[in-house]
Structure 1
C-alpha cells in the first residue's frame, strides 16, 4: 500500500510539474502564505512519505518562489475565477529526480512481479545447469609377437565360471584368454556424457550424469562403435546430493572422485559410490591453504540371494573402501603454485579367502563357503589364487575341480601426490607432477599362507614368484595453457609409469595404459590443440611392457576429438 501511495504522490507531483509555473510557496520548515497552503501540504506529504528529503523540499520551494517572482514581473497576475485550481511550479532538476525515482520503482516492481518480461522462463530454470562432453576416438593397439599367448582373463573367468581346473579328461577347453598377439587397428570409439546440476538453496545442490559404456565396469565410459550399427548403451554414471556451507562439503550418492590422485590408482572415468566429507581453502597464511577429505565407499554388499540353491544364506561379507587425505596449496604468485597431498586408502575385505574343505562331488549345485570373496571386477596384474579347497571323490578315479579366482594380497595404500605449476619463457605454462603409492599390507609370506600355496600367476620363466608393493609415475606438461579453454591454446605432455603387480588393486586404474591393470611399466607422450573454447584435438602414444613375469608388450595410439559444453 505504501508503494502505491508513493507512486500516486509522485504522479501528482509530475502532473503539477507539467502544468506550468504557479505561485511559489515557502520552505517546508518556514511559514507559508495563507493562500498557498495546499502546495505546502503537498511538499510536506512528499517529505513524510520519504519520496523527497527536507533539503530537496526547501530547495524546491525557494527556487519556485524565485521563479514565480520573476514570472510575475513579466506578466500580470491572471484573473482567478471560482472553481480554478492553482498548481505549484516544480523546477526542472526536481522533475528529473522524480522521473528517475518513479522509473526505478516501477522497474523494480516489474522485475519482482515478472510482468515486464512475460516470455521469460520459470524460476527453476535459473537454478539448473546443464553440462556434458562428447569424445570421438580412433584407437589402434599393437602387440609384440613375442608376448605370452596364454594370459587368463580373470574377470571373464569368474563371470563365466567356475572353470574346470583338472587338466585330465574332464577339462575340454582353455579358460578365457586375453588377446596378446593380434593387433587391433582403427577402432572407432565414443564417449558421451550428459548431466545436470541443480541449486536447491541453503548451500544444498544435487546432480545426475548419464554416460555411455560397453559394460557396467567402473573404469571406462568408452563404447566401441560398430556392432552392426546397433544402438549403444547408456548408464547412470552419477547421482548425488551435496551440502557445501563455507569451506566444508558433504556428498552422498555416486559422485566424482573426491581425492587428489592420478590414473595409476583411480581412472579419470571412475565415479565413487558412498559418502564423503571434507574442507578446502582453509587459510593458514597469506600463501597457504589446506584441504582434506574422508570417505567411505561400498565396493560390494553381500547378496540376499546367495547361495541361490540353498535355504541357508551366507553371512554378511561386505567390501569397502575407506579413504582419507590431507594436503596444501602453496601460491607463490599468480603463475606459480605447489600442491601436495598425502592419502591413505584401506580396501577392506577384498582379499580372497581360501574355503574350508568343499565336497562338490556330493552335489553338482553345491557351493563353497568363500565363493563370495572373488572380486566383483578386475583388469589384470594382481596376484591370484584358487579359492576352493575341493576334496577328491573317493568313489571316482577323477574329480571335477571347478574353481574361482581371488586376490592373494591385502591392500592398505599410502599415496603421495605433488603438482608444481609455473610459468616459463614469458607466457608459457609448465606443470611437473609426481605420484608414489606404497602398499603397506603387502607380504609374500602372508599371501602364500592365505592362498594355501594355490597361487596361479606372476611367475617368471624359471617358475619363481615375482611381485611388488610400489607404484610411481612422473608427468610433465608444457604449452600456452593447461586447460585448453581458448582458441589456439596448445599443450604437449609426456610421462613414465611403473606399477608393480600388487601395489594397488588392478580394478580401478586407467584402462588405456597397458590396457589397464598393474604389472606394467612404460612411457606415454602426446599433444593437444584447442580449435575453440569448447573443442580440442588430442593425440597420445603409449608404450608399455611387464614389470615381472612372461613378456607382454603393448603399444597404443589414440587420436581423438573432444567437445564439451
Structure 2
C-alpha cells in the first residue's frame, strides 16, 4: 500500500488555528483507523465504507480538512477497502466457514492502516505542531534566546547619612582654587578686585546629609575572548572621584552619567587588552586613587600562575590614560590658535600574588606613574587690558582638582601703561610640582583567633619629581599656598612647607567583603598625605574631604543583614600636615546592596 501524503508546504502557510484544526482532524482519523485495525480480524465481513466516507466528507465541508487532504484520505480508504474485500474472498475460499468468524450485530468495520503509515502521519503532525509551538513561544516558555545568555546585568546601591564636623579653631581663609579655575579667574590686584576669592567652609558643621549612589552595568560576552561593557551611575556632578548624589534639592530629579564604556579582548591566555572608559586597572588603595575612579584610554594586563608553582601568580599592567586634551579652538577669539597640549598618565605596574598555605596569602605590587604635562606654565605677556580674552597657558590649569597641591599663578599679565596701578589682573592657578610617582603596595591575608580573617594593607607613595627649587623656578616666584602657619605677609621660600611622601596602614578583622548574612568586619587605619606627594584630584573624596595635605586615622565596620546587603559605619578624624589649622571629623552610616 502507498501511504497518503498531504501538502506540507501548504500546511505551513495556513493560519495557526487552521493548522491546529487540521492536526485535530488527522488525529481523529488516525484514532478511528487504529481502532478499526485493532477490532478487525481475518475472515470478517467486508466492511462498509459509508461511515468513514461521511466522516471525511464532513471534515472537509467544515474546513477542518483541506480538500486535497480529504480526497487523499477518501482514495486511501477506498483502496484499502477493496484490498480488504479481496483478501476476505481469498480467505473464505481457503478455509471452511466458521460461525465464530461471522460478523456480529453492532460490529464496526473500518479499513486497516499499517503501523508504518500511522507512525509517519503521527511524526509529521508532531513536527508541524512543535514548529508552531516554537514559533509562538508556548513549547518552552522559560527558554531564552542564545544571545540573551551572553548578556548579564550587575550593579550596586548605597544610601548614606553623612555628617562633617569642623573645629572652631580652623582657619577661615582656605581658598577654593577649583572654583576660581572653573570661572573667569580671580583678580589679584587689591586696587581693582571685587572682594575675597571663593573660600571653603572650614568652621560650620554639616550634619545629617542624605546621599545615595546607584550604579548599573551591562556586560556582554561577545565571544570567549571578547567582552564589552556599559555602566550608568549617579552623581551630583561630573567629577572623576565620586558617583555619590546629594539628595534634597527641592526633590528634583537626579543626574545619570555614562560611568563606563569599554571593550576588551584576550590576546592570549594570560594577556588582555582593554580600551574605552573602565575600572582602574592598577592594584592601588584609595589613598592614591578613589574607589569610584574610572580611567579613560587603554590598558594591557598580564596575569599567569607560575608553571612550577600554581599558588604563585605574577601580574602586570601597562596603562596609557589621556587626562585632558587642550581645546582645538584655543584661544577662541584669536586668529592664531595654540598648538595641541595634551595631558597624559602613563602607568606601569608589576606584582605577585602568593598563596603560602591555607591560612596565609601575600600580594605585593610596585608601580610607576608618570603624569605628563600636568604642571602649570607661566604665560607670555598677556595684555588683557587691550582686549585679549585669554592667555596662552590657560590650558595648563587642572580640569579637576580637590585641594592640597602647591599652586602657582599662570598668567603674566601686562600692565596698562596709562594706569598700571589699576590694571585688572584676573588669575588662573596651576600645579607647581611635576608628578612621577613610585607606588608600593603590600597586602597580607591570614587567619587568627581560630579561623577569623585578618587583612593587613600598607601603601607608600613617593613623588620622585618633587623639587622645591624647581617649583619656585617654574612659578617665577608665584607660589600662592602651602606656607607655614606663621608665614609673613609676603611669604617666600623660607616659609614654604610641603613634601613628596604619602603612606597608609590599615588592618581589617573579619571578612573584608561581606556577602552572606552574618558576615562582618571591623577596620582601623592611618594615612599621611603630604601636599605634593601626588596630584590631589584623584584620591578618596571623603578623607579630609579629598585631596592632599592631610593626615589622620579612620575606624569602621560592616555587618551583612542579608545576602549581598550590609550596613557600614565609618569615622574619620583628619587635620592638615602643614599650614594653617584645618581639622575635620567625618561620620558616615550606610546601607549597601549589590546584585
Query: Matched residue of 1:254: which SS?
Result: strand
Query: Matched residue of 1:353: which SS?
Result: coil
The answer as to whether partners of 1:157 and 1:404 remain within 8 angstroms in 2 is: yes
| Residue range with higher mean Cα deviation, 309-318 or 501-510 | 309-318
Which position in structure 2 is the counterpart of 1:276?
Answer: 299
Query: Matched residue of 1:160: which SS?
Result: coil
Which position in structure 1 is the counterpart of 2:363?
Answer: 339
1:367 pairs with 2:390: yes
Which position in structure 1 is the counterpart of 2:212?
Answer: 190
Select 1:254's aligned residue among 277, 281, 300: 277
1:140 pairs with 2:163: yes
1:451-483 per-position Cα deviation (integer Å, ceiling 9, x unaligned):
00000000012321000000000000001x222
Separation in 1, partners of 2:570, 2:140: 50
The answer as to whether partners of 2:552 and 2:572 remain within 8 angstroms in 1 is: yes
- Number of aligned positions between the proteins: 460
Which position in structure 1 is the counterpart of 2:463?
Answer: 439
Separation in 1, partners of 2:445, 2:307: 21
Q: How far 1:119 sits from its partner (Å)?
A: 4.5
1:470 pairs with 2:531: no
The answer as to whether partners of 1:284 and 1:290 remain within 8 angstroms in 2 is: no
Select 1:398's aligned residue among 410, 413, 422: 422
Q: How far 1:144 sits from its partner (Å)?
A: 0.5
Q: How far 1:285 sits from its partner (Å)?
A: 3.6
Which position in structure 2 is the counterpart of 1:525?
Answer: 555
Separation in 2, partners of 1:389, 1:354: 6
Select 1:422's aligned residue among 422, 433, 446: 446
| Aligned-residue RMSD, C-alpha | 2.2
Which position in structure 1 is the counterpart of 2:524?
Answer: 494
Q: How far 1:150 sits from its partner (Å)?
A: 1.2
Separation in 1, partners of 2:241, 2:519: 29
Separation in 1, partners of 2:515, 2:386: 66
1:120 pairs with 2:143: yes
Q: How far 1:282 sits from its partner (Å)?
A: 3.4
Separation in 2, partners of 1:284, 1:143: 55
Separation in 2, partners of 1:231, 1:427: 47
The answer as to whether partners of 1:247 and 1:282 remain within 8 angstroms in 2 is: no
Which position in structure 1 is the counterpart of 2:198?
Answer: 176
Separation in 2, partners of 1:494, 1:360: 52
Q: How far 1:359 sits from its partner (Å)?
A: 1.8
- C-alpha distance 284-465 of structure 1, shift in aligned 2 (>3 A): farther
The answer as to whether partners of 2:331 and 2:392 remain within 8 angstroms in 1 is: no
Separation in 2, partners of 1:497, 1:297: 27
Which position in structure 2 is the counterpart of 1:53?
Answer: none
1:280-303 per-position Cα deviation (integer Å, ceiling 9, x unaligned):
133154232100000100000121
Q: Counterparts in 2 of 1:520-559, with a 5 A limit?
A: 520-559=550-589
Q: Which runs of 4+ in 1 moved over 4 A?
A: none
Separation in 2, partners of 1:291, 1:236: 29
Which position in structure 1 is the counterpart of 2:288?
Answer: 265
**Structure 1: 5+ residue runs without aligned partners?**
1-18, 20-86, 88-106
Which position in structure 2 is the counterpart of 1:149?
Answer: 172
Separation in 1, partners of 2:307, 2:545: 42
Query: Matched residue of 2:333: which SS?
Result: coil
Query: Matched residue of 2:249: which SS?
Result: coil
1:459 pairs with 2:478: no
Select 2:372's aligned residue among 345, 348, 357: 348
Q: How far 1:118 sits from its partner (Å)?
A: 4.9
Select 2:317's aligned residue among 293, 298, 302: 293
Query: Matched residue of 2:470: which SS?
Result: helix
- C-alpha distance 535-118 of structure 1, shift in aligned 2 (>3 A): closer
The answer as to whether partners of 2:152 and 2:219 remain within 8 angstroms in 1 is: yes
